[in-house]
Chain A
């Protein structure tokens, strides 16, 4: 008998991390960024603008509870830090207005731009944020400030949630799907739609036709990459190019986007997790806002 756990192929590993080499008590500004997305929630703590700790959790049915869960997880990991030790918190993401302990909310578009420069360096000019239920193509300057952006409309086709559904359908763990999709001798035609519902029906047809999982994944990721590239080309891709958000960890999607664009995506500095870009950007804004407030007080 298959356990519930084993059948949850969509489930990606939640992470909680703290930089043990740093002592938060020495920091002048402790800032926090919460990225409350539709599928995942990140809480990031930064000490004087440097990453110190984070939690990357699945968003639950309640926005407030998801934000609380992420911040509690990271504080628990740190051990002796309390919420009141945090000087300023900025919330971002789809649920940014539902974070009760945030001092301010800033859009995920601005936060991903800022966070991408932290993760990839100031040469980044085009950021692709591939999230749980939307896609954003963002052009930034060397500070990560948004110059222009485009976001997909209502339909969430070709986003993280779609990939989760396909992994479940094919019984492929989501963390392995990207690699598997590259194990094809020849790239198949993309599936004709990235709409989750239609793609699901089409994929069932491909299963019946006897296509391998690898080939089906390749066809689906090919379609996802085509949709993404269309969005990128509308905003205009200017190197250097970087990808943030959860799908940036899917090599099968990333490689296909790179091939279609004829452009390599930057690699994150120091192995930083690009899924944290929004929360990092938020935490950096939180620091700037706190310093601005302090300056006003003087």
Chain B
């Protein structure tokens, strides 16, 4: 008899890191005397910061209603950028020494600028241009050039020199983290996916806010235990989650633990899921070029995927198509952050692709807090429409 996944200390550790991310960073700072840099969006080459002895932490919101960001951000900017800035304005990120963003979308950029200007104790900020046209043949050269400037800025600020060896070590730690999380996701292909989407979210988001080396230790232990793990919950409908960042526990708890019908997320294609860690850095002599290639050629955010034409020809859509087949996905939930233009532009094509593949799908618009009752009705109705033939007599 294997251990129940809910009781695994590794899952509990991820959850604790997720919930107490500020406390973790403060303790890390006390312990190491190092600097902590907050980053917006997952195109920041964290390895460069890590190589300089810095702890990179992703800036996240708290999903609590707020009304303090309106002087800085337009009402129709996404709730995520409001929420992240609100955390800064409320002093929850006062332990940060620096803040950075790699260009992704305008809403996040505005949040970053206000954050950098308004949050106390921020002594260093860096806006990192990153190519939107990631399918352009010169994109990696461009990114490498910007990474060089970024590295120089980090060196100047910290007074350190980041050697190739430092970069190599950071890349190894980060690659290991990616490989281990990909292994965990591999388990989810099985009839018994071992973990739920909620567990996966704790795992991925905690990796964004703690020291990767420490995270790797827990991941290694989890990967070792997972084959023996048992779950006492019914898997039910195998869902894939596609969309904007989504680390709202309420949504996972509702769909996986709070409905009349059993359901489990077997894959999350978002930047708090696979889009963050999928794809390693292919190491080579030129470390910065290796990094540039990884970030340019990773599964792109919709803000970056500019290829035109048949959607099956687009990199992100090809990835989604493969996941649906390999992970035996039965239905897709497209969860898009309200006012997220890049996703809004992608969703019509995504729906067309899913229709062509014959995969049922449901679109939920995420806000700062979620209308749980309405979401429940919609998801349950989707599941009902996929079966229950014998009720129609």
Within 8 A of B (CB), among A123-161: 134, 143-149, 151, 153-154
A153/B373 in contact, CB under 8 A: no
CB closest residue in chain A, given B381: A109
Q: How far is the CA of A110 from the CA of B374 in the complex (A)?
A: 14
Are A107's CB and B392's CB within 8 A? no
Q: A109-B381, A151-B378 are in contact. Are A144 and B392 (CB under 8 A)?
A: yes
- Assuming the contacts A114-B392, A288-B392, A288-B393, asked whether A153 and B385 have C-beta atoms less than 8 A apart, the reply is no
Interface string of A28-68 (1 = CB under 8 A from B): 00000000000000000000000000000000000000000
**Interface residue? B380 (CB, 8 A):** yes
B365, B373, B385, B389: the one within 8 Å of A146 (CB): B385
- The majority secondary structure among interface residues of chain B is helix
Complex contact A146–B381 (CB within 8 A): yes
Q: Is the CB of B385 within 8 A of A147?
A: yes
What is the interface size of chain A, counting residues whose CB is below 8 A from a CB of the partner? 27
B294-353 residues at the A interface, CB under 8 angstroms: none
Bound-complex Cα distance A284 to B176 (A): 55
A64 to chain B, nearest CB (A): 16
Query: 1/0 per position for B367-393, CB-CB distance to A under 8 A?
Result: 100010110011011001100111111
The verdict on B64 contacting chain A, using a C-beta distance below 8 Å, is no
Once the chains bind, are A151 and B374 in contact (CB under 8 Å)? yes
- The reply to whether A153 and B374 contact each other, CB–CB distance below 8 Å, is yes
Check A89 for interface membership: any CB of B closer than 8 A: no
Q: Give the Cβ gap from B350 to chain A, nearest Cβ, in Å.
A: 15
The interface on chain B, measured as residues whose beta carbon lies within 8 A of the other chain's beta carbons, has a size of 18
- B285 located at the interface, meaning its Cβ lies under 8 Å from any Cβ of chain A in the complex: no
Q: Is the CB of A107 within 8 A of B381?
A: yes
A94 to B390, CA, bound (A): 24
A248 contacts partner chain B, Cβ-Cβ < 8 Å: no
B391 and A288 contact, CB distance less than 8 A = yes
Instruction: Say if the beta carbon of B260 comes within 8 Å of chain A.
Output: yes
CA distance A107 to B375 in the complex (A): 11
B385 contacts which chain A residues (CB < 8 A)? 110, 145-149
By a CB distance below 8 angstroms, the chain A residues around B393 are 287-288, 291
Residue in contact with B374 in the complex, picked from A105, A134, A145, A147, CB distance below 8 Å: A134
A106 touches B (CB below 8 Å): yes
Contacts of A134 in B (CB 8 A): 374
The answer to whether the Cβ of A285 comes within 8 Å of any Cβ in the partner chain is yes
How far apart are B355's CB and chain A's nearest CB, in angstroms? 10
Chain B interface (Cβ < 8 Å from any Cβ of A)? 260, 365, 367, 371, 373-374, 377-378, 380-381, 384-385, 388-393
The 8 closest A-B CB pairs, nearest first, are A109-B381, A143-B392, A146-B385, A107-B381, A288-B391, A110-B384, A107-B380, A154-B371
Can you show 16 pairs from A to B with CB atoms below 8 A apart? Answer: A97-B260, A104-B260, A106-B384, A114-B392, A143-B392, A144-B392, A145-B385, A146-B385, A147-B385, A149-B385, A151-B374, A151-B378, A288-B391, A288-B393, A292-B390, A292-B391
List 13 other contacts, CB 8 Å, given A107-B384, A153-B365.
A97-B260, A104-B260, A106-B384, A109-B384, A145-B385, A146-B384, A151-B374, A154-B374, A285-B391, A287-B393, A288-B391, A288-B393, A292-B391
